[in-house]
Structure 1
């Protein structure tokens, strides 16, 4: 999965420190990230790459995290235009990078960039928010509001019936990859209750023997995913929620498609784990 970057080590401990010329910075323009052009892998800029043309770029950089001993900083709204050798690329390109640690750095940076941008002003009184020097938090000096990074809890569930797994496809999506039933937790729900509700809403099925599998941070949507498997309880006839899904179909284990699995995602790992019997159910 995208966060599995071993032997490299991701450390998100907050530190209030200044950037140096050798540090990497991440910068975004809407849904695009600045990367080196014509490189055989994702390559992010260092402050030294721009020290002569943009000497003040380093001054307001926000520390994000480290990977191994490399510091990553955020530079928001730098207006870097017409830079030879560098270009903005859509963040969805990060999904296809073969070295997950590069993708993970870029997309976690994007998640934090969006958070800083969306909470520049206090949602209560409209005053400018200030960055805490002690933790990753924004606070309003006028009314006292405190805001922490946005994380949405959600579930993914692989519903199975003997050697069959229920595969889905989302409605109104550009890609046509197979998926599993998924959805966000509502107020007052446990993950287990969310699983049962989402299965009933999307495909009209009852489940039993709910088993936790793994979790995954998914910064593309600010989500923290909890993965489960659940056994069908009763009738296997699907009633499709058509505004959410375009397809829900039972697939025998040996007929589960492999070609469209996205190796960085929890969904794909769960589908493959069921197909290969890597998970005991």
Structure 2
């Protein structure tokens, strides 16, 4: 007799050399027809090679009924565990397997294309709206600059005209006084100082007018450059929109061509396999009759 120590994680039915168990006939197992006994199943189970030395733990000797019940429980637990593993594997395959339905794939592809098209259109609309806002702000700024410059030039012209009017009025008054009372004997130094003052004022007025005219020309040049840049930007944007339209049209044509080719291949496959009654004369006659 070979005793086997009993532990919590392993329960074994001890087999003795002098004990003979009467075979018990059971039903068919694993889909076979024949006589399989619990004793034969016991003999198929390998006996571990256990080396027992020194002090042992207490032995647990199981009777024949207890061994059979433990074996049934172990078989049921193994079967339930295999069923759970199989169901988990099938669930994982279902999650990993993509949708094979052609209609579902077409619907998914159409939704993706719609989302991409809507996103592209939204981006184009945002870019166009931003461009128009920037153009409107630039035009308003140019108008304000032009109005300010025109107001400055008009003010300078009015000041110069007023000064000229006063000088003409003064000369007319002097000429009238000279005609009435005769020419006075002015001081030569005072006349010289007055002429120099007039020259200085005229030079300053001319310099201011030239500066104002130069600023106005610079503003006009900048305005023309901005208008030209806006025109180029508008042309580039139109060219970009045209290219986008051509790309979208090409994508739609390619998608239509691919669908036609796929439909044609599917019809050819159904015609070769005879699945569709339209391509099977016998099924068509049966359906008509």
Same fold (TM over 0.5): no
TM-score normalised over the length of structure 2: 0.13
Give the structure with higher Rg (CA): 2
- TM-score with structure 1 setting the length: 0.14
More strand by share: 1
Higher RCO (CA < 8 A, seq sep 6+) = 1
Higher helix share: 2
